[in-house]
Structure 1
């Protein structure tokens, strides 16, 4: 027998998922009934059992290896026996003992039930749900009785509604609510738990992940596409309210009006945090895009990395008389905006260095309050202008890509082999977002004779002479980069030299392995493919040539403006920390970085000396605690009426979107943050959720790339094509389906990932 408290030291394969979870809960300080674990085939020792648990009665629960896991909770699939006496224990164990069993002292429950850290009917992340029944909870979990249902705020713990019929007093209900919040905060993912009150205390009987819920907490269809790349993981309220809530909707709505589409008076998209992550509403946007000639929903979805939940092409532009009459106006507006946006963007980008010099010289801590207010507003306006320029280039790049696909579809029927869109968009030249990777590659080449010293260095100061200086200079030159640069709370490279050292080590390992062979698919001339397609275009030749050239130009410019936006993020981050530092001095916040847990409206009101509305410290603590409830969880990429399907599996092959041509084989290396890149072995297959420009140097060591999310026009995808790195993107669930060390083949031409061993 294994004491339940010691099950935390063993694996789920040894003691089962439920026993290990309860062992961890005991170690965490939760009140869990005393118990032991019996391994399969192990007879109970009645004398020892009574010594540890008392004379009984006992509860005997299953604890299968796959029980209470993150993929499926297996709730209700295994057995529980209550009121088991010492004399009958051996028979019960003999009946159930094919898997590990938990034997616990039975709680003499006066009230019991289940609780969820989110609403399972809607997926609302601000609500916890409690179900209670008199006596034991097994009648509830077995579906034999109808429970009383209570709801409370997961953020504040405040009860919503009446306790009538619940069998709980106010203090008891509060205790259950606090237990739910504490367990969810400990685990870091949505959970459901079983609980019971006896005459003395509240007991935690079981805790497991919520694996089935209706993920529709908001009206409409929402996606995290694109923002998972630049705002991965948990997003702070300040970053979300600036980018998702303000700049993104305004810039997109303005762009659609400028290209001649009929747009309602309100923004066509909205963005917000949900489960602590970034989402934006996509259904109204798609309806507006139906006005665009050649619009095809599937093409739009795949460009963003959305997994279509429909068959065929989905909704598409219809050449009805009313829509045809608008075509000349829209085409003319798009072409005019194409030239204007490009001209304005390049003129704006030319001022990046000057803006950096001006704003990075600000000594925020030395400013008087009126100056601090003025400078913060200036940094905010700079960020909004820069982000607007970057977004307008991105939007135009996406529309031109859609138009290119529509033209290639027209031409494709005249060719023996379909047009190779990815090849036509290849060879864009050195991209601005890849500059840091190229600089690291050059520095790694200089370190060829001292590779072992570099790999052994624990900090920048330990690098050989000259190399440390070079890395410090590189960290300053690209100091605006971060792992998720639109999240203002994340440190930049110039604040975090350790991350840059890890990336240098990966580059050194790549240099030791020698140059990676360029796949034959990339050896084929892009110019040759362009000539082949244009010869077949007939009367469409001038239009196709113009659209292709514009699409390529915008893809390059998009990366240039992404760098501008990333620079502006650093400036605004410093402004926010300056403000947070001042408020920490005034005891409004506990620390400067607490400012990121306020919303923009709260910050602006406070700057206007309006500090009403509660204690900032309490608000920050509440929001941090709520975010902790989701820190170890990747929520669905789509919410609402948009179906979510995992990528298809054919035998041992996963299917995604072909992103960068070529085939690569190697061992899987799953990275969940750029901080894990330090021990990445050259030649491995890089498997990540998504890639932002701060990850680009990781491409140096990889032989192939697989992402769970992302679209063909994402920055990570474009960089993969620049480096001729075979890549498959939008492979749903790949982080759970693959494991480190597995040998896989990545086919970036066909869009498949095949498990070889």
Structure 2
């Protein structure tokens, strides 16, 4: 190689096209791939010695300047070592950008010696930019109107023991888990050849997936993981990185932002099933979500101010098969605003790991920004009991006034006015429900923490049983007393009450204390129902026969006395300081508040029922709907539209009929606790499944259709729109196959296989490492579930029109 003086003399008479990576300052001249390599080198990470040929040389070549090739050869003489081999890679202006990756669309040439071969390889890469594949890709995915500009990376070859890719986040789910895939030899085998890589998954300091390898290799993979975490942290975004290991050192070959995470959504029912358990009818959803989520938004506004004003309350939750799931992505956004780890949402969603690096609630500098608001909020919570007292008094009065309304004389329009009034009252009440539940949980945990430190187990049940304040507000206490009264009746009387109808019971035993007390019980707790959030269900006062049976058969806890005695001892010896006494007092008090506030909310929320049923009765009378309960399968907006225009009833009737059928069909469906994205596969009856294959999902989605086995580009002619393609592996030249396919399954490959990359960018499901994929017969109907990595082979009798990619719940959102 010539010395620096000769090189300087050369540049005095020639334009510069070749740059050392560290000398480049503008990615607009060399492309993102080369600029990201410079970033790695600048930050101290090990990369092969690299040079880059800028866009200017490519532009001159496109213009037909023949001198450029001669100039390049002369210039490269000053950089290239004739004794070394080089890899020649593309670095286009549209390549490895955040929107789309252009992975595999341009040429790569390996093992090139000498200046002449390197220049020929550069020309080959330049020419590949004008090929049909990248041009079609740009039109299909990037929709970038810019012309392709091509830089070229010239990189010393590394001859590896093994190579691979690492993703610092799961590109399918967005979860905080690091995925490493490795193959022997060159990493290009991951993309191009039909090789299934070894795969590791690392989460919070723990290997949750790992092949059997020797300890020395695991150490290298661990080092790759730790370095990739550092790179992603410095880069500021989740990344995927290509790496290689030559038995001595790890080299980083490529860095790009993971392009599939922009709109990833994560839903969980871990919390939502506590607030909205079971299946939820459309009317209940359309009432409950605005009521409850408006209160959550108000709490977020108190904590973080104006940023929370942009929260769409309708996006805080989503229904899957008529079950409620919380949108954890929005929770993660709020965590980030507060300066807390976004990954805490995974713990809240029910994703758990015992790893030593599990995220925890730790305040940061950003948290300090919101500290004044947080402190004000905490001060409010510290004296929240005074607000509860005012709330209970004012809202009980308001609810009682509404409850006294004679709905039988109301028009549909007046009913709607009262419903809007209840929206306002119940939104305020739900705020108090949420806060009292949070405070109850907080103080109870403090008490249990103190007890646990002294090796004493004392759960919520114990605190509930010994809490005297709950005796008047907890229906169980009243039921227990009534049950004791019933037991004291004569045997003949008990047998008689067990047999007779409720109305007969009231007349025959009118003078009995048990009867009078039971009527008082119904008067006090008759607003309760199986689910306090579902006013489509009848209240206890509407089903007194069932309530009488519940009282008769009641079996209360037998440990109350034992708990009381044990608690007296615990209280005497552990809760002696002023602070501990205060914590214990508040824990007991907020158990009572939780019950009292929830009872009042249930009372007020249940008042929706009588107004909607009045509207329903009027609809039935007009022939707009068939049955009284049909209104619960409509949304509130649909109810108002039918009131405004009765002709809307025909469309609504068709929708509610379908919803009723769906709710029966999905009644016993077991749903996952966590759902990624907004589309959940429709369940398939096991009786219609002949066999199942399993693989690794690499592009999420679900599709049912006929399969076509494709072993090469020559098979392209047999693919029709809507087919699923089954392949042994895929090459870049196979890209056109994906234009018609709706899903892909491959016998080999990994997360960076060409078929996986293209499937993610076509937004179609893909599953790789599927043993037996190409042994399927053409036109066999299969279901590809790329959430679970499962392929179901369906019976010939399965009708294709039975499939549904997306649940009909979209009709009431």
Normalising by the smaller structure, the TM-score range is: 0.3 to 0.5
Q: Which has the higher contact order (CA 8 A, sep 6+)?
A: 1
> TM-score, normalized by length of structure 1?
0.47
